[in-house]
Amino acid sequence: MRDVSNYQADVNVAELPEHIIAVKATEGTGYISPSFQKQWKAAKDAGKVRIAYHFNHPSLSAVAQGRAFLNVVEEAGLEENDCLAADIEVNDGLHPEAVSDQAVQLRNWIEEETKCKLIIYTYLSFAESGNCAGLGEQPLWIADPSRPPANPRIPEPWKDWVFHQTGIVKGIDSDVFHSDNVEDLFKYSGLYKPPPLGEHERQVYLSDGEVERDTIVHVDNFIAGFEMRVGRALFRILH
């Protein structure tokens, strides 16, 4: 695999020999890679397996970042076997518990919207400091350039790896996929559009300043006194 961003805007991904291309789409809530659409389309036209990734900032809303990421990728064309990843490598000055809690919220929101298995990119010392607690069941994309290809160290909370970023080759990050069959990656892809709402269902956005979530509520429940618990937060319709 090779992973590219706007730093490699002039690279023709179709000419790369690797079968898998990861492309940076967004960062935070306001940055969209200017070359994402071009690189994303070129990868498809060349028959590559594609991964779109988001660079996460834990100081920003997980839901807002998830929305921004999916909006950009869906506009560029998100298809059945495409995969999604989150780059979890900065703490924005927050403690590890806050960083990991926000990353879990981002994971939950994206997976609920797409039914995918979100791939997590990180590096050893960042994960070992507790910034990735709660993400051990996610496919791991680990940066460990000091180790031989396909032999990375695996930080807690993970037990295995899916991608090993081994270094830079001709100005482009180079990675190894932990399988001889590229189709094994498809098990992490998801339903790129959620099922349509039923006739009597409504999608609502819930927030108490800490907990944020989209959910579906039947119209019969839009009555005073209806309650819904999300994590530690309790939401109630007052009138």
Q: Are residues 127 and 232 in the same domain?
A: no
pLDDT bracket for residue 211 (50, 70, 90): low
| Whether the predicted pLDDT of 120 surpasses 80 | yes
Q: Are residues 11 and 48 in the same domain?
A: yes
Instruction: Report yes or no: 91 and 134 within 8 Å, Cβ to Cβ.
Output: no
Q: Are residues 162 and 214 in the same domain?
A: no
Q: What is the pLDDT of residue 103?
A: 98
Of residues 229 and 106, more confidently modeled: 106
What total number of domains does the chain contain?
Answer: 2
Q: Which residues pair with 3 in a beta bridge?
A: 22, 173
CB atoms within 10 A of CB 112: 14
Q: Are residues 184 and 232 in the same domain?
A: no
Q: Are residues 10 and 83 in the same domain?
A: yes
- Per the confidence metrics, is the pTM higher than 0.85? no
Residues 122-176 have pLDDT tens digits of 999 999 999 999 999 999 999 999 999 999 999 999 999 999 999 999 999 999 9
pLDDT bracket for residue 193 (50, 70, 90): low
Q: Are residues 113 and 161 in the same domain?
A: yes
Q: What is the pLDDT of residue 232?
A: 67
Tokens for 111, please give them.
């997976």
Q: What percent of the chain has pLDDT over 90?
A: 77
Would residue 30 count as lying in a domain?
yes
Measured CA to CA, the distance from residue 86 to residue 76 in angstroms comes to: 18
Q: What is the pLDDT of residue 158?
A: 98
Q: What is the pLDDT of residue 217?
A: 85
Instruction: Report yes or no: 172 and 11 within 8 Å, Cβ to Cβ.
Output: yes
Cα-trace Rg, the chain: 19
CATH number at residue 118: 3.20.20.80
Q: Are residues 209 and 102 in the same domain?
A: no
Q: What is the pLDDT of residue 222?
A: 84
Q: Are residues 116 and 205 in the same domain?
A: no
Q: Are residues 134 and 230 in the same domain?
A: no
- Owning domain of residue 62: 2-188
Counting beta carbons within 10 angstroms of the beta carbon of residue 2, is it exposed (0 to 12), middle (13 to 18) or buried (19 or more)? buried
Q: Are residues 36 and 133 in the same domain?
A: yes
Would residue 40 count as lying in a domain?
yes
Q: Longest Cα pair distance anywhere in the chain, in angstroms?
A: 62
**Strands in 96-232 per DSSP E:** 119-123, 140-143, 163-169, 172-177, 201-207, 212-218, 227-230
Residues 40-73 have pLDDT tens digits of 999 999 999 999 999 999 999 999 999 999 999 9
Q: Are residues 122 and 220 in the same domain?
A: no
